[in-house]
């Protein structure tokens, strides 16, 4: 997700990167995810979100969702089916509405063993537009946007937990795509603004997981270090083609962090 089309999205020790938050042990152009099994007893994974979860940036097309499915299959030695409902450009407000009104999506979640969430980048477009148009300055352009996102992600997590109380619930935060991106980032985005966004999104996601029986994966620390401003392009975790998303290496890193946060029992 780049500004306008939005900035989407080093490794520290896994215990530091994975934030435990309590816990359970569509239209558009969503990237297809392979079904690793059609078995009726397969562990079913459902992914929700925007371009953060579609696999953009991964030349294999699998993204962290598909890679997670493959790793889970290997970990459990059990069949796994992946249903990726993520769609590029989807906002948290749209996802919240779908969870309330889309009977098919609700049924899919209710029968899932694992629910993965990767959303937040598309929400920031409104702040980018306001900043680019000089309707506000710096962080002030994102205050209302981030407040609304925090409310929505908590409601999303609560509804998912209500629909599938026994499922493993996981969500990823966003990496900081600014450090090292150079001219790929529009000039109106500053280092301060970018860091502010990802730290606020991380807090919202992790609070939502903590309140609703899930866990969040702190991708900004994994990609950008404890200061949240290290260059993830230099480490090969992000790519500028397309800009600015996790590379195949970065998508694999996210998938492995999710696996390390705990897995469901085999069916």
- Domain membership of residue 71 (yes or no) is yes
Residue 231 backbone zone (phi > 0: left; psi -120 to 50: alpha; other: beta):
beta
Q: How confident is the model at residue 24 (pLDDT cuts 50, 70, 90)?
A: very low
The range of the structural domain enclosing residue 244 comes to 14-260
Tally Cβ neighbours within 10 Å of residue 33.
26
Task: Flag whether pLDDT at 46 surpasses 70.
Answer: yes
- Domain membership of residue 126 (yes or no) is yes
In this prediction the pTM is 0.87
Please tell me the least confidently modeled range out of 10-19, 121-130, 161-170, 247-256. Answer: 10-19
Contact between 34 and 223 under an 8 Å Cβ cutoff? The reply is no
Report the CATH number that the domain containing residue 199 is assigned in CATH: 3.40.50.1110
Q: How confident is the model at residue 41 (pLDDT cuts 50, 70, 90)?
A: confident
- Domain membership of residue 1 (yes or no) is no
- Domain membership of residue 9 (yes or no) is no
- Domain membership of residue 59 (yes or no) is yes
Q: How confident is the model at residue 168 (pLDDT cuts 50, 70, 90)?
A: very high
- Domain membership of residue 7 (yes or no) is no
Q: How confident is the model at residue 9 (pLDDT cuts 50, 70, 90)?
A: very low
The whole-chain average pLDDT of the chain stands at 88
Closest CA to 115 of 218, 249, 178, 24: 24
| Mean pLDDT of all residues in 135-157 | 97
Check whether the bond before 207 is cis (ω within 30° of 0): no
Beta partners for 83? 46
Closest CA to 209 of 171, 175, 174, 173: 171
* Bigger pLDDT: 42 vs 261: 261
Helix axes 248-260, 63-76, angle to 10 degrees: 40
Per-residue pLDDT tens over the stretch 75-108: 999 999 999 999 999 999 999 999 999 999 999 9
Please tell me the least confidently modeled range out of 20-34, 52-66, 193-207. Answer: 20-34
Let me know how long the chain is.
Answer: 267
Burial of 169 (0-12, 13-18, 19+ CB in 10 A): buried
Give me the number of domains the chain comprises: 1
- Domain membership of residue 6 (yes or no) is no
Q: What is the pLDDT of residue 265?
A: 80
- Domain membership of residue 212 (yes or no) is yes
Using a pLDDT cut of 90, give the percent of the chain over it. Answer: 81
């Amino acid at each position: 997700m780049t500004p306008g089309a939005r900035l989407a999205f080093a490794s520290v020790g896994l215990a530091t990167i994975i934030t435990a938050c309590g816990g359970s042990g569509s239209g558009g152009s969503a990237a297809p995810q392979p079904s690793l099994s059609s078995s009726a007893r397969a562990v079913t994974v459902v992914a929700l979100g925007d371009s953060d979860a579609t696999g953009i940036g991964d030349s294999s097309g699998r993204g962290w969702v598909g890679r997670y499915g493959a790793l889970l299959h290997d970990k459990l030695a059990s069949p796994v089916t992946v249903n990726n409902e993520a769609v590029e450009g989807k906002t948290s407000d749209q996802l919240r509405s779908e969870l309330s009104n889309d009977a098919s999506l609700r049924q899919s979640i209710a029968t899932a063993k694992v629910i993965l969430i990767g959303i937040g980048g598309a929400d920031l477009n409104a702040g980018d537009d306001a900043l680019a148009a000089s309707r506000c300055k710096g962080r002030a352009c994102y205050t209302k946007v981030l407040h609304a996102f925090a409310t929505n992600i908590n409601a999303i997590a609560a509804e998912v937990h209500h629909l599938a109380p026994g499922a493993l619930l996981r969500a990823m935060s966003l990496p900081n795509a600014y450090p090292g991106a150079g001219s790929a980032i529009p000039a109106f985005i500053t280092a301060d603004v970018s860091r502010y966004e990802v730290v606020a999104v991380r807090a919202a996601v992790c609070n939502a997981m903590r309140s609703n029986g899930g866990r969040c994966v702190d991708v900004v620390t994994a990609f950008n270090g404890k200061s949240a401003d290290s260059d993830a392009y230099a480490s090969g975790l992000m790519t500028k083609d397309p800009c600015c998303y996790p590379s195949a290496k970065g998508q694999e890193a996210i998938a492995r962090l999710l696996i390390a946060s705990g897995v469901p029992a085999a069916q």
